[in-house]
Structure 1
Amino acid sequence: MNTNPRAAYMDAAVATASPARLLVMLFERLVLDVTRALEAQRGGQVEEAHRQLVHAQDIVLELRSSLRVEEWDGGPGLASIYDYLHLQLVRANIAKDVSLTEGCLGLVTDLCATWREAAVASLNVA
C-alpha cells in the first residue's frame, strides 16, 4: 500500500485512465522530461540533463514498442518519427547539445498537442 498521497493519487489516475488519456499522460511527461533536460543543459547540470534525457528515451522506446504499426496506415510513419526522436535524444545526450534538445522539445510538444487533440476528438465521437 502506498502511503504517499501524491503517489497514491497518480497510481489511481493511471489505473483508471482510458488508453487515449494514458497516451496523453505519457506525452505530457515526455515534454516535461525534455524541458527539464534542456533547462539542465543550459544551466550546466550535466548529470540532471542526462537523467532527464534517459527517461525521455525510455518513454519513446515504450511508445515505439507499443505501436501497432500494421493496424493503421499512419503506423509506419509514426514509427519512423519515434525512431528519429529516440536517435535525436541519444545524440543530444551524448553531445550535450542544446540545439538538438531544443529540436526534440519542439517535436515532442507538437506530438503531445496532436495526441491531446485526438483524445478530445475521440470523446466527442463516442
Structure 2
Amino acid sequence: MTTQALRNRYVSDSVATAPPARLLVMLYDRLVLDLMIAGQALEDADRSTASTRIHHAQEIIMELRATLDTSVWSGGPGLAALYSYLLNELVQANITGDRARVETVQGLAEQLRDAWREAAAQVTGTGP
C-alpha cells in the first residue's frame, strides 16, 4: 500500500470513528486551512487555487449551517446569522479577489474553532 493510500485510510478511519464534538473541530480545522491557503494564493495572484479553496470553505460553512439546530440553543440563531455573513464575505472575496475579506473570515473561523475545541474538551473531560 502506498504512503498516500495509507494516509487516506488513516484520515477516513479518523473521521469515521471520531465523536461528534471532534468532528466539528475537524471541520473548523479544515475551514481555517482552506482560508489560509486561499489567502496566500490571492497574495500570489493564483486565483484558481484561491477559488478552489474558497469554494471548499463555503461548502464547509454551508454544512455547519445545515446541521445547526437553532431551536436547541439560544445562541443558535446568532451563529446561523454569522455563518450567513461568512458565506457572503467569501462570495465577495472570490468575486473581487479581496484577500482582506478572506483574512476576516479566517480570523472569525479561528475564534469559533477555538471556542468549539474548548467546549469539546470540557464535554469529554480532556481539558483545553
Q: Shorter-chain-normalised TM-score: which range?
A: over 0.9
> Segments of 4+ in structure 1 off by > 3 A?
none
Two-structure CA RMSD over aligned residues (Å): 1.2
Residue-by-residue CA offset, 1:36-68 (whole Å, 9 max, x unaligned): 000000011010000000000000000000000
1:115 and 1:78 map into 2 onto residues whose CA distance is: 12
Residue-by-residue CA offset, 1:11-35 (whole Å, 9 max, x unaligned): 1000000000000000000000000
1:85 and 1:63 map into 2 onto residues whose CA distance is: 11
Cα displacement (A) at 1:102: 1.1
Question: So what's the TM-score if we normalise by structure 1?
Answer: 0.94
2:111 and 2:12 map into 1 onto residues whose CA distance is: 27
Q: Does 2:27 correspond to 1:47?
A: no
Tell me the residue number matched to 1:60: 61
Tell me the residue number matched to 2:9: 8
Q: How many residues align?
A: 123
Cα displacement (A) at 1:72: 1.1
Letter in 2 for 1:15: A
> Unaligned regions of 5+ residues in structure 2, if any?
none
Question: So what's the TM-score if we normalise by structure 2?
Answer: 0.93
Structure 2 counterparts to residues 94-109 of structure 1, below 5 A: 94-109=95-110
Secondary structure of 2:74's aligned partner: coil
Tell me the residue number matched to 2:20: 19
* 51-60 vs 94-103, which moves further: 94-103
2:100 and 2:17 map into 1 onto residues whose CA distance is: 37
